[in-house]
Structure 1
Amino acid sequence: MLNVQQTETKRQKDEVFDIRKVVFVEEQNVPLEEEMDEHDEHAIHFVGYTLERRPVAASRLRFVDEYGKLERIAVLKEERGNGFGRDIILAMEDIVRTKGLSKTKLNAQTYAEEFYKNLGYETISGEFMDAGIPHVTMVKDL
């Protein structure tokens, strides 16, 4: 099980950005200037730690219209398949509920669409490209 925390310190935020750089910039070749954007300043960031306190997952949450928008969900390659993606998503959904909202939205890379469907998300768009990667928009009623 992943220990998911909202970032409160510079160190935690650096851990989030380091994970995102490894997953999106190095692994998926997303340009750094696209990965790190103007929304990072105001988003709620999350970092997920293993039992050994190793940071292995990251994400951010923004509130857009009536949705909690789940973004930049990343798990280090060697830790995928351990349920950590699910753990960080459930933590973000809990925060969305505490803000009084009942809907979440995310733009999923198409290879991960089934993963999100298994968590209750429904695809509401056709495929589109973002940072050179095929995506779909998905929503969930909490």
Structure 2
Amino acid sequence: MSTTTTDFTLRPASFTNDREALRAVRETVFVAEQHAPPDTEWDSMDPVGDHMLAINATGAPIGTARLTPDGRFSRLAVLKSWRGKGVGEALLLAMIDKARAQGWTQLTLYAQVATEGFYKRHGFVVEGAPFDDVGILHQSMRLKLRD
């Protein structure tokens, strides 16, 4: 599946083949901007997860997202210069579609509290109390995909 607009394209990414493109976005956003510890950015879910990459018209990576086999959406990251242009929403919607196509009944995520409203607009509901993860306040959220 590939989604194209006049500004960017989404395409499935392979952790093995696209690791540097994923790294370029995730380390810029999570490590450099948000000061997450570098050793926490990559985990055992990366090799087994389904990744999506957003690229600009010249083919440079501008955004990422991941689904993990345990039913979790994670690692949504968009370069600062591309925020507010629909990249994050396109990545989220593409991954929701992918989860539905795989027969998932729900999707969970740990949203940074500052982004909670973004996920609520797409049907996610809050579960439990906020919690600290690598120095950033997060909120568990869930989206029901089917009955």
Fold agreement, TM-score > 0.5: yes
| Counterpart for residue 29 of structure 1 | 35
Please give the alpha-carbon distance, in whole angstroms, between the structure 1 residues aligned to 2:73 and 2:43: 15
Q: One-letter code of the match for 1:89?
A: L
Q: One-letter code of the match for 1:77?
A: K
Partner of residue 57 from structure 2, selected from 38, 45, 51? 51
| Counterpart for residue 20 of structure 1 | 26
Please give the alpha-carbon distance, in whole angstroms, between the structure 2 residues aligned to 1:60 and 1:70: 6
Please give the alpha-carbon distance, in whole angstroms, between the structure 2 residues aligned to 1:140 and 1:113: 13
1:75 Cα shift?
0.3
Give the paired residue count.
139
Partner of residue 67 from structure 2, selected from 43, 61, 71? 61
1:51 Cα shift?
3.5
| Counterpart for residue 130 of structure 2 | 127
Unaligned 5+ segments in structure 1 are none
Partner of residue 45 from structure 2, selected from 39, 44, 47? 39
Q: One-letter code of the match for 2:121?
A: N
Correspondences of 1:52-91 after superposition (within 5 Å): 52-64=58-70, 68-91=71-94
1:47 Cα shift?
0.6
1:40 Cα shift?
1.2
The share of aligned pairs that are identical, in percent, is 32
What per-residue deviation string (whole Å, max 9, x for no partner) do you get for residues 31-57 of structure 1?
Answer: 111111122121111111123433100
Matched, 1:92 2:98: no
Matched, 1:113 2:116: yes
TM-score (norm 1): 0.91
Please give the alpha-carbon distance, in whole angstroms, between the structure 2 residues aligned to 1:51 and 1:88: 16
Matched-pair contact (CA < 8 Å) for 2:22–2:53: yes
Displaced runs of 4+ in structure 1, greater than 4 A?
A: none
1:10 Cα shift?
4.7
Please give the alpha-carbon distance, in whole angstroms, between the structure 1 residues aligned to 2:16 and 2:78: 20
1:11 Cα shift?
5.0
Matched-pair contact (CA < 8 Å) for 1:129–1:135: yes
Matched-pair contact (CA < 8 Å) for 1:19–1:56: yes
1:26 Cα shift?
0.4
What per-residue deviation string (whole Å, max 9, x for no partner) do you get for residues 99-133 of structure 1?
Answer: 11121111000000001111111111211000110
Please give the alpha-carbon distance, in whole angstroms, between the structure 2 residues aligned to 1:46 and 1:102: 20
Unaligned 5+ segments in structure 2 are none
